[in-house]
Amino acid sequence: MTSLTQVKQYGLYVNGEWETTAEKMEVLNKYTQQPAAEISVATKNDVNKAVASAKDALKNTFSPYERYEVLMKAADLLLSRQEEFAEILATEVGKSIRESRGEVERAATTLQISAEEAKRIHGEGVPVESAQGSENRMAFTVKVPVGVVAAITPFNVPINLVCHKLGPAIAAGNSVVLKPAEVTPICALKLAELMEEAGLPKGRLQV
């Protein structure tokens, strides 16, 4: 296993752009306790901007099949870069490389399952006609996105649990403002790059 050999800079991912802030925070290599990366720390204004961008993105059509395609492509990309993500996991979390590889596989599976569910979201008929006096009436329900989802994820499984939040939220047509654990944020930030490459529309994910 190779570790991160230099301190890489990561910004915030807001409205499809990478932005740096004045305040920075170090992410440590959990084996050496030396800095492995440096991340930007969001201000209240940054958070407000991210939420506004996430809300604005909902104005644009993002069909269930398009969500399926993006999530499936993201899963494929993640599997193709399994070793890269596993090494980042091992560095920022302190897991063994074997366990890290397994987590990347599980994360890809989570995205695949979410992708499939994007095509299966549906409402149902309500049998109001069974009530006396309602013989000629019809009722049904439809499911719609809730809007903007705030996703806060823990340090211990920092890519699979991000996918557990991100995958279903995107599949259901929502936008996501993600706040990963500050001690293990690198995989989440790299996943944002991957989601962009997979074709996720601008503003649908903020980190």
Chain centroid offset of residue 198 CA: 12
DSSP 199: T
Residues 6+ apart with CB under 8 A from 191: 74, 78, 159, 162, 163, 166
Query: What are the tens digits of pLDDT across the range 165-199?
Result: 999 999 999 999 999 999 999 999 999 999 999 99
* Whole-number Å distance between alpha carbons of 45 and 23: 13
Per 3-state DSSP, the chain is made up of helix, strand and coil in percentages (nearest 5) of: 45, 20, 35
Query: What are the tens digits of pLDDT across the range 49-95?
Result: 999 999 999 999 999 999 999 999 999 999 999 999 999 999 999 99
Residue 8 backbone dihedrals phi, psi, to 5 degrees: -95, 145
Query: What are the tens digits of pLDDT across the range 13-47?
Result: 999 999 999 999 999 999 999 999 999 999 999 99
The pTM for the full model equals 0.91
The structure tokens listed for 53 are 């961008």
- The amino acid occupying position 80 is S
The structure tokens listed for 90 are 């091992």
Strand partners, 151: 178
Sketch out the chain's domains with CATH numbers.
Answer: 8-206 (3.40.605.10)
